[in-house]
Amino acid sequence: MKQILILTTLMLFSLVASPLLAQQDVFIEDYLERLENSKKYLILVAEMMPEEKYNFKATPESFTFAENLMHIGYAIDWHSESLLGGRESREWKTDTIYKVANKSKEEMIATIDKTFNEAIHLIKEFDTTQLDDELDYFGLNRSKRQIFLLLADHITHHRGQMLVYIRLNGLVPPRYVLFQ
């Protein structure tokens, strides 16, 4: 009788646990597809703008096109490597990797490509049992799952500004890429 009870309990547990674990895996798979497409689209946007227009900004207090691009890189690095991966954060004020400084368009695009690739690698290895772990995010408790979503929103926000800058310079942005 005791063996039947144990077997029944194990079967019920596996029926409940299996879909939950599968959902977490699907979240990461879906997120990776979205991030890959976001990378492709951002690089198309960055390539579209002529290098001589990389210093364009819509208003004096706005980021330039180049600053938006590099800010996206910094945010990807911070969200993925520091918040999700546990690495010490870069200091925005002293960081040189994600500052425009004297970087060429080609160097900035290469930096963005490398940063996306590093984030994608980290996310592929991410332990999905940590998705519900909470972190302090600017004074708010947010799960790591929410951090993934916040990163996607942040990329979209700054890329949207870049798309407007392209239009303000009389260019037609690349066609929207789905699932990102």
**Residues placed in the known binding site:** 71, 154, 158
Phi, psi of 21 (to 5 degrees): -65, -40
Enumerate the known binding-site residues for a divalent metal cation.
71, 154, 158
What gap in Å lies between CA 170 and CA 135, rounded to an integer?
Answer: 43
CB under 8 Å to 48, separation ≥6 — which residues? 166, 171, 173, 174
Return the DSSP state at 139: T
CA distances from 93 to 45, 70, 74, 90 (A): 26, 13, 11, 9
Token output for 52: 């001589």
